[in-house]
Amino acid sequence: MLNVLKNHNQSNIAVITDEHSFDYFTLNEKIEMVCDFLQMEGVERIALCAANSLDWLVVDLAAMSSNLLIVPVPDFFSEEQKQHVIYSCKVSHVICEKPTANSKPLVGTGLFINEVGYHGDVALPEGTQKVTFTSGSTGTPKGVCLSRDNQLTVAKSLIDVIGLSKPKHLSLLPFSTLLENIAGIYSPLLCGGTVKIISDSKRGFSGSRLVDMQALLTTIAQSDAHTLNLVPELLKVLVVACKQGWQPPQSLKFVAVGGGKVDKALIAAARECGLPVCQGYGLSEASSVVALNTLEDNSDSSVGKLLPHVTGTIENGELVLKGNAFLGYLGEPNSWYQDTVHTGDLAEFKGDKLYLNGRAKNLIINSLGRNISPEWPESLLDATGLFSQAVVIGDGLSQLVALLMPLKGVANEQIAASLAHINQALPDYAKLNHFILLDAPLSYEQGMLTENGRFKRPAINQTFLRQASLLVA
């Protein structure tokens, strides 16, 4: 990676932050300083716990250039999940923004490095350079092992398919998100472009949550950006703002949206507002992006054509991918070195376009691109002993909604208190901020349960998702 960056015109701007601009020469110097420091310190594996910044980018590129294993730790994980990530990867060092009693400054950055002592063997497939953790469909996130080639193959395919020369990319999503890491850092820099990094507060975010819509709109309007990566929830924000009079910058040339279900009506509305939106699809096991629409060949309902490095087939309704498969899951040797990826997504091809029809399993993907197994918060609801039935829905929504059938005599105050207690144990994206009280139990006769009493989730979603969306809106 470093060799490629050195081939660009070294006086061109590589990174722009809130206060400064950095040309390629300066960026390469910083990467080399961090590479040398990590080597001198005998660093084996690092966990990177920090918000978007030039320093995050430099550490990540230094690890890739040195082929050193790095584990980006998402801000939106709970503390328990973060500790699970750090321990399960047996990282030798943690790099973070705040000093601790035993940390030292990380040369060339404003970050700090702390030796945590998890030296020794860890069950990783050979060639692993990055372990990216899914957002945790259960309480324990799963580590996806990727090689350096896995990541760069996708980055190069995106450059070829999107076809922009030296783009200026505005990063809105967390760098710890694999999509932004690859499509928002690697792709722009590999083709001599610029990455613009705005601090969380200035772009209206607190961690992964948007808390100030106006700050986000101002950031985009003033950025002169050519490209953005969005999750569906952010696209909704921009469309609503456009309908209220906000004007997207004329500089925008390509806006990719993915990471969750995107309604075709939203895509159409975005284009009517002048947003050059193209829907895509990907998953961590395929190093993020797998398919993408282009402005020249765009569809409201398809996720586009497969990228040139990958092929796909449909087996029993499920999309199966071949080419650039991940190395395997952390700690699961039986998953290592497979040449195909069974996506778990129901799909079909119409010509060369890929269409998604749902998921083979019950996984909820919210509008922020987070994966949640409904059984996880449901088990916490069941444990309260307050409900005869508790079902969690929220596919395509920004927040989860619990459908609750309380036991006789349970008051609304008890329900609210129990949800508040449960939410203390859940990360932001899995919290139960809303609930709907059922008038009667879900039944087999209604078509809501199987013969053995299991929830028929498609039928439940069809019945209640509209009501849930009005609560969340």
In this structure, what DSSP letter does residue 357 have? Answer: E
What pLDDT band is residue 139 in, cutting at 50, 70 and 90?
Answer: low
Between vectors from CA 27 to CA 22 and to CA 33, what angle results, nearest 5°? 135
Question: Is residue 137 over pLDDT 70?
Answer: no
* Average of per-residue pLDDT across 413-424: 93
Pick the CATH number of 374-472 from 3.30.2130.10, 3.20.20.60, 3.30.300.30, 1.10.1240.10: 3.30.300.30
Tokens for 420, please give them: 């508040």
Between the CA of residue 138 and those of 133, 373, 466, what are the distances in Å?
12, 6, 25
Summarised one tens digit per residue, pLDDT across range 4-58 is: 888 899 999 999 999 899 999 999 999 999 999 999 999 989 999 999 999 999 9
Tokens for 129, please give them: 């350079």
- Among 131-135, 163-167, 229-233, the range scoring the smallest mean pLDDT is 131-135
Q: What is the pLDDT of residue 379?
A: 84
Q: What is the pLDDT of residue 125?
A: 97
β-pairing, 112-115 vs 305-306, is: unpaired
Mean pLDDT, the chain, integer: 91
Summarised one tens digit per residue, pLDDT across range 84-110 is: 888 899 999 999 999 988 899 999 999
Question: Is residue 420 over pLDDT 90?
Answer: yes
Q: Residue 256 and residue 433: Cα distance in Å, rounded?
A: 29
Q: Residue 3 and residue 26: Cα distance in Å, rounded?
A: 14
What residue spans in the chain does CATH classification 3.40.50.12780 cover? 2-359
* Average of per-residue pLDDT across 232-237: 88
What pLDDT band is residue 447 in, cutting at 50, 70 and 90?
Answer: confident
| Look-up of token digits 């040195």 | 66
Q: What is the pLDDT of residue 375?
A: 83
| Look-up of token digits 């110097």 | 29
Summarised one tens digit per residue, pLDDT across range 362-381 is: 888 898 888 888 888 988 89
Summarised one tens digit per residue, pLDDT across range 279-302 is: 999 999 999 999 999 999 998 889
Q: Residue 66 and residue 280: Cα distance in Å, rounded?
A: 31
What pLDDT band is residue 169 in, cutting at 50, 70 and 90?
Answer: very high
What residue spans in the chain does CATH classification 3.30.300.30 cover? 374-472
Question: Is residue 121 over pLDDT 90?
Answer: no
CB-based contact 312:175 (threshold 8 Å): no
Q: What is the pLDDT of residue 119?
A: 63
Summarised one tens digit per residue, pLDDT across range 255-283 is: 999 876 677 888 989 999 999 999 999 99
What pLDDT band is residue 211 in, cutting at 50, 70 and 90?
Answer: confident
83 phi-psi bin (left φ>0, alpha ψ -120 to 50, beta other): alpha
Helix (H) or strand (E) holding 210: strand 209-210
CATH number of 2-359: 3.40.50.12780
Question: Is residue 342 over pLDDT 80?
Answer: yes
